[in-house]
Amino acid sequence: MNLKLSDMITTTNTISLAEIENLRTQLKGKIVLPADKDYEELRAVFNGMIDKYPAMFAMCADVADVIASVNFTREHNMLLAIRGGGHNGGGLGICDNGMVIDLSGIKYVRVNTSSNTVRVGGGNIWNEVDHATHAFGLAIPAGIVSSTGVGGLTLGGGIGYLARKYGLTIDNLLEADMVLADGTFVTVSASQNTDLFWAIRGGGGNFGVITSFKFQAHPVKTVFGGPTLWPIEKLDEIMKWYHSFIHNAPDDLNGFIATMIIPGPPFPEHLHMKQFCGIVWCYTGDMDKAKEVFEPILAMSPVFEHVGEMPYPAIQTLFDGLFPKGMQWYWRADFFNELDSEIREQCLKFGSNTPTPLSQMHLYPLSGAASRVGAEDTPWAYRDAKYAGVIVGVDPDAGNREIITKWCKDYWEALHPYSSGGAYSNFMMDEGQERVRASYKHNYDRLSRIKQRYDPNNLFRVNQNIIPA
Ligand SMILES: Cc1cc2nc3c(=O)[nH]c(=O)nc-3n(C[C@H](O)[C@H](O)[C@H](O)COP(=O)(O)OP(=O)(O)OC[C@H]3O[C@@H](n4cnc5c(N)ncnc54)[C@H](O)[C@@H]3O)c2cc1C
């Protein structure tokens, strides 16, 4: 593709090549423009459905680069996207005709073993963090696919296998360094810039570019877990049992329930391309007690189980191979309080008609430590919800884009009337202001006032956007 810079930059000001050259001289990292050879590769994000053409990438190597790039973008009135790991379902780490501040050059993981705290760069991905912390028998609560970025996942909340034991990722965030819209650099924590510290624990990338995170880690080395599967016809019985079981189980036990097809190896051949109700478990307690904890689970007679001891990074990477970069993804989400008969009925209906082998529905339990944080202590408003639900239509073939999108939307529309109203912001695509408001509920207005204070012109708006008050 032959793109001219003038075609790509749509601003109220004209940006001359001399001005871009001037920015280039200020950066330790590099500027990538549409004519550069890295451009095509860089503009590809995890979701192959996203096809955006930015005007330029600032490949930031340090905080100084981020400050210079934020100032340049603001001064030239450009649209700005911040890219951490590039995994966002709605493609919110990239934009058309604007600047992308890419943080993949700001990576480090430093473990402090005297306090079990961990410093992580703004551009790290979770498997780099798990690798570094595992050497010390530690882990930070994160998501279930390890190629996801630390930045986006953390700023939205962070739900994973350790949520019932140690809370969401934001519940383990102790401090962050940020570059604000006016180019100033601040550190935020429970004792410094407390309004911003509150806002970034769920409010997404609305408030600035986080260049460094400091997390509390926990002793997690070996876990006992893996999948259990039942034929989809048993969904009603299994979901009912799961709902009564999981929230009364010890915090050490987690497991998300799903409707899914088994696409192929490493599962045995007789399961391939069949539809299942599955639960993927992770137990972090005393390994000597694991068999006892799993007794009631195995008593439900799954047709397949593959649970056992494994290093924590192994469960974190269990699904990485199934989901390489570049496939088509369509996302929809909601929180739920119950798994009533209407919900089970719809899950059976849509789970029995999954359009492609990788399309799935997941319900992540939110009881335990994640539910013991106050509903106003962070922007994450749904502390009383029992599940964060997500439906994903997924396929490698762009030709199947329509059918995965339709299935996902129809499934969501069938379940939404029984939901708690809003959704986890990191599981949404671009669904408009009403959905953003519904997701932050009573915390939206406070977020909006903080946004007005630090980003009144909404420079950081390629996200689940909080409108300045
Ligand atoms: C396969 C897959 C599995 C997933 N599993 C889970 C899961 O188990 N649990 C869960 O909670 N979520 C999960 N997610 C959702 C994930 O949390 C979001 O997609 C998240 O936005 C990804 O973060 P990222 O940094 O990779 O994204 P990006 O696309 O880089 O960015 C997403 C948003 O975050 C902002 N952002 C990113 N980094 C920074 C930063 N350093 N400073 C300021 N703003 C920043 C961006 O501006 C953008 O608005 C999953 C996503 C995928 C694709």
Residues 416-426: pLDDT tens digits? 999 999 999 99
Q: What is the 426 CA–ligand 1 centroid distance (Å)?
A: 6
pLDDT at 5 over 70: no
Q: What is the 441 CA–ligand 1 centroid distance (Å)?
A: 21
Q: What is the 291 CA–ligand 1 centroid distance (Å)?
A: 35
Lowest-confidence region among 7-16, 277-286, 379-388, 428-437: 7-16
- What is the C-alpha separation between 350 and 332, in angstroms, rounded? 14
Q: What is the 154 CA–ligand 1 centroid distance (Å)?
A: 7
CA distances from 332 to 89, 139, 225, 390, 468 (A): 9, 29, 27, 6, 26
Q: Which residues contact 49 (CB under 8 A, 6 or more apart)?
A: 91, 328, 329, 330, 398, 401
Q: What's the whole-number average pLDDT of the chain?
A: 96
Span 18-29, mean pLDDT? 96
pLDDT at 303 over 60: yes
pLDDT at 145 over 80: yes
**Half-sphere exposure of 466 toward its Cβ, with a 13 Å CA cutoff?**
31
Asked if 153 and 125 count as a contact pair (C-beta separation under 8 A), the reply is no
What number does the ligand 1 atom closest to the CA of 427 have?
Answer: 15
Look at the block and give the residue holding tokens 């009403």.
434
Span 136-157, mean pLDDT? 98
- What is the C-alpha separation between 320 and 147, in angstroms, rounded? 7
| Nearest residue to 424 via CA among 332, 360, 334 | 334
pLDDT at 4 over 70: no
Confidence of residue 14 (pLDDT cuts 50, 70, 90): confident
CA 119 to chain CA centroid, nearest Å: 19
Q: What is the 152 CA–ligand 1 centroid distance (Å)?
A: 3
Confidence of residue 45 (pLDDT cuts 50, 70, 90): very high
pLDDT at 9 over 90: no
| Nearest residue to 304 via CA among 358, 229, 377 | 229
Phi, psi of 281 (to 5 degrees): -100, 155
What number does the ligand 1 atom closest to the CA of 123 have?
Answer: 41
- What is the C-alpha separation between 22 and 68, in angstroms, rounded? 10
Mutate to test the pocket of ligand 1, among 57, 80, 83 (most ligand atoms within 8 A of CB): 83
SS (H, E, C) 156-187: HCCCCCCHHHHCCHHHHEEEEEEECCCCCEEE
pTM of the model: 0.96
Span 242-246, mean pLDDT? 98
Q: Which residues contact 236 (CB under 8 A, 6 or more apart)?
A: 341, 344, 345, 348
Mutate to test the pocket of ligand 1, among 148, 150, 214, 394 (most ligand atoms within 8 A of CB): 148
Phi, psi of 148 (to 5 degrees): -75, 150
Question: How close are the terminal C-alpha atoms of the chain, in Å?
Answer: 41
Q: What is the 157 CA–ligand 1 centroid distance (Å)?
A: 10
What number does the ligand 1 atom closest to the CA of 460 have?
Answer: 47
Structure tokens, 152 = 């986006």
By the 10 Å C-beta count (0-12 exposed, 13-18 middle, 19+ buried), 306 is classed as: middle
pLDDT digit string, tens, across residues 312-352: 999 999 999 999 999 999 999 999 999 999 999 999 999 99
Sign of CA dihedral 210, 212, 215, 219: positive
What number does the ligand 1 atom closest to the CA of 45 have?
Answer: 29
Q: What is the pLDDT of residue 1?
A: 38
Q: What does the angle CA 462 – CA 256 – CA 443 come to, to the nearest 5 degrees?
A: 40
Q: What is the 365 CA–ligand 1 centroid distance (Å)?
A: 20
Mutate to test the pocket of ligand 1, among 49, 79, 88, 145 (most ligand atoms within 8 A of CB): 88
- The protein residue with its alpha carbon nearest to ligand 1, atom 49, reads 463
pLDDT digit string, tens, across residues 195-243: 999 999 999 999 999 999 999 999 999 999 999 999 999 999 999 999 9
Q: pLDDT exceeding 90 applies to what percent of the chain?
A: 95
pLDDT at 158 over 80: yes
- Find the residues whose C-beta lies inside 6 A of ligand 1: 46, 81-89, 92-93, 103, 122, 143-145, 148-149, 151-153, 155-160, 204-205, 209-210, 323, 426, 462-463
| Nearest residue to 385 via CA among 396, 375, 397 | 375
- What is the C-alpha separation between 181 and 325, in angstroms, rounded? 31
